[in-house]
Amino acid sequence: MMLEDSLADGRLLSEHDSVRIIQNVIDYSANDIVMSISVSSWWGSNLRWARNTPSLTSEQRDATVSIAMQKGGAYSTIVTNQTDSVSLRNAVQYLEYFVSLRSGHTPPDMAVEQPEWAVEGIELWSEETFNRSQEQDMIAVRSLISRCEQEGVLSAGFIQATGARAARYSRDQWGREKRNVAQATQAQCSVTARHPSASGSGWAGSSAFDFNRVDVNRISTIALEKCMLSFSPVRLEPGRYQTILEPQATSVFASQFVSALSRRDPEAGRPVFSMLGRDSGINRVRTKIGLPIVDKRISIYHDPLDPLTGTVPTEAVKRVNLVTEGILTGLFNDYGHSLIELNSLDIKVSRTSFRFDGTDQPVESMISSTTRGLLLSQVSNPVSVDRGSLLSTGLTRNGLWLIEDGKITRSIRNFRWTESPLFIFNNVVEIGEAAPVFAPVTGRNPFRDSSQNVLTNVVVPYLKVNDFSFTSTTDAV
């Protein structure tokens, strides 16, 4: 099968063609081999602009066929974007050569019987997003540019719509087969507005599976307002400040926290969520499940059926309550760890999408109840400095303001911060409204790398916290 024939709708491989490619690979392979095949294709159209002028309008598309084989402990993978019979036959023969040659040289993996449960998820495909015209986006961009020119501000930004479709197949050591097909769209828009003298900068962005949820005009307005409000910042002494984190800032710390919620690490004795003593039933280091770890108003969970943070139904995934009213109630637990290490079917596949529950308290009220503190728009460039306590350091970016007596009074020069989500989530003063944040998949193909990164959708709230640690200033704007 030729790729040009398969790209029938001009952008993505059809479901029918994806399945046919998989069947071809199966037909070329030995019957007794353990294997998995993934056929995915993606398409993206982009608008990019800078210095108040469009700089590029583009369209890209690609396909990926990933084949993995396993035999007698040997395992090998090959990835290609060509789907003709010659390429696929060569790929299969290459893999069979490798796994046969090495089979038996390493101990075979323990048999992994995958559990049967319903594949849950929601439809994350928007036909309107897939067919959106770039002319329409350019009108919005031109409107933004015009407003920025009137204000004497330089804007730069990016608008992208992508679509991706994947078909998967796997065959285990008992010859049992599994197949599924999934598709998703993703829309994103982000805008940076900067003062030409580099003395003020504002940013806003949004991403979702449906372009109707991405309001380009609103994003533009926020970026422009933040730029104007952050103009000519003054220097403030570093120190600990009561700080209101906007959702985009909260999301960085919440994502650090969620990514550490793996059962494998604490049970191997690695810190953060491990504790003294061993669990006698499974002879593993005890975890902190069931213990309070953060403020009791905090609940964080992954729900594949949540319309804002849900999952494309590509594999078995179920809801995981990670933190419930401050208590650690769940740790992600992959197939291998669950079945081989624990002899358990309590599998919770790790996801980067999650919801951190908010309240109905508006940010205006959080500001008005602040005697002296800071409003933090965005954090940038985080670097881990102590994995054991999740401590990291980074910078504030695109807007930091001083709040005095319930009002925003000054724009502040950027700070370097040194903080841990464990400290932040234990020093919460108020939790505000939750909102989806800008968290697009950054790779070209949302289905290319692994099922865990199909889409990243995060909903987190405004947080007002005590004693947020700002350790030094930076002149960068």
Partner 1 sequence: MKSTRRSFLANSAATIAAASFPLQVRGSDPSHIDLSLVVQYIGIREIVESAVNAAMNAGAKYADARFTFTQLINGRGPTPVRSESIGFGVRALYNGYWGFSAGPVSTEQEGDRLGRAAVLKAKINGNDSGRVEFVPPANASSGEWKMLVKDDPFLMSYDEIQDFMEGIRLYISTLPSVEGSWATADFVRQRKLFVSSAGQFTDQTLYRTSGNISFTVGDQHGKRVTTRIDSLTPAGRGFEHIRDQPLHKYIDELHATAMEDLKLPVNPVDPGRYNVLMDQIGVAQLLNGSIAAATELDRAMGYEANAGGTSYISDPVNMLGSFRIGNENVNISADRAAAGSVGRVKWDDDGVEPSKVTLVKNGVLVNMQTNNEASSWIRSYSEEQGMVSQSLGCSYAPDAIDFPLVHSADITLCPDKLSSHITTDSMRMAFGDGVEMKSPNVAMDFQCMTGFISTAAYEIKGGKRVAHLSGLGALFRTIELWTNLAETGGEEMAKSFGLSGSKGEPTQSSYHQVTAPAVIFNEVSCIDSRRKA
Q: How far apart are alpha carbons 310 and 456 in whole angstroms?
A: 9
Pick one of 20, 102, 178, 297: the residue that binds partner 1 (CB under 8 A): 102
Residues 266-305: x/- map of binding to partner 1 (CB under 8 A)? ----------------------------------------
- Please name every residue paired with 415 in a beta bridge, in sequence order, or none if there are none: 473
Pick one of 12, 39, 153, 154: the residue that binds partner 1 (CB under 8 A): 154
- Shortest gap between Cβ of 364 and partner 1 (angstroms)? 28
Pick one of 134, 274, 321, 426: the residue that binds partner 1 (CB under 8 A): 134
- Shortest gap between Cβ of 370 and partner 1 (angstroms)? 19
Number of residues that bind partner 1 (CB under 8 A): 90
Tokens of 279: 């669990």
- Shortest gap between Cβ of 352 and partner 1 (angstroms)? 17
Using the contact rule CB under 8 A, the part of the chain among 135-143, 242-250, 288-296, 324-332 near partner 1 is 135-143
Pick one of 135, 150, 276, 371: the residue that binds partner 1 (CB under 8 A): 135
Nearer to partner 1, 23 or 58 (CB): 58
Say whether residue 56 binds partner 1 (CB under 8 A).
yes
- Shortest gap between Cβ of 360 and partner 1 (angstroms)? 32
- 183-212 residues in contact with partner 1 (CB under 8 A) are 190-192, 194, 197-198, 201, 203
- Shortest gap between Cβ of 51 and partner 1 (angstroms)? 5
- 369-408 residues in contact with partner 1 (CB under 8 A) are 380-381, 383, 385-386, 389, 391, 393, 395, 397
- 418-447 residues in contact with partner 1 (CB under 8 A) are 418-419, 442-444
Q: How far apart are alpha carbons 293 and 299 in whole angstroms?
A: 11
Where b means 16+ CB within 10 Å and e means fewer, 82-115 reads ebbeeebeebbeebbebbeeebeeeeeeeeeeee
Residue written as tokens 């968290």?
Answer: 439
Say whether residue 231 binds partner 1 (CB under 8 A).
no
Say whether residue 58 binds partner 1 (CB under 8 A).
yes
- Shortest gap between Cβ of 204 and partner 1 (angstroms)? 11
Nearer to partner 1, 22 or 323 (CB): 22
Nearer to partner 1, 340 or 385 (CB): 385
Q: Considering only CA atoms, which of 128, 107, 118 is closest in space to residue 187?
A: 128
Tokens of 353: 């999408």
Say whether residue 44 binds partner 1 (CB under 8 A).
yes
Using the contact rule CB under 8 A, the part of the chain among 237-245, 268-276, 311-319, 369-377 near partner 1 is 237-245
- Shortest gap between Cβ of 44 and partner 1 (angstroms)? 7
Nearer to partner 1, 371 or 442 (CB): 442
Say whether residue 107 binds partner 1 (CB under 8 A).
no
Say whether residue 54 binds partner 1 (CB under 8 A).
yes
Pick one of 59, 149, 346, 404: the residue that binds partner 1 (CB under 8 A): 59
Pick one of 53, 217, 232, 409: the residue that binds partner 1 (CB under 8 A): 53
Q: How far apart are alpha carbons 360 and 376 in whole angstroms?
A: 20
Say whether residue 32 binds partner 1 (CB under 8 A).
no
Q: Considering only CA atoms, which of 307, 303, 320, 315 is closest in space to residue 124?
A: 307
**Residues, the chain:** 477
Say whether residue 33 binds partner 1 (CB under 8 A).
no
> Residues 279, 266: contact at Cβ < 8 Å?
no
Q: How far apart are alpha carbons 250 and 356 in whole angstroms?
A: 10
Tokens of 283: 């002879």
Pick one of 14, 57, 221, 344: the residue that binds partner 1 (CB under 8 A): 57
Nearer to partner 1, 288 or 416 (CB): 416
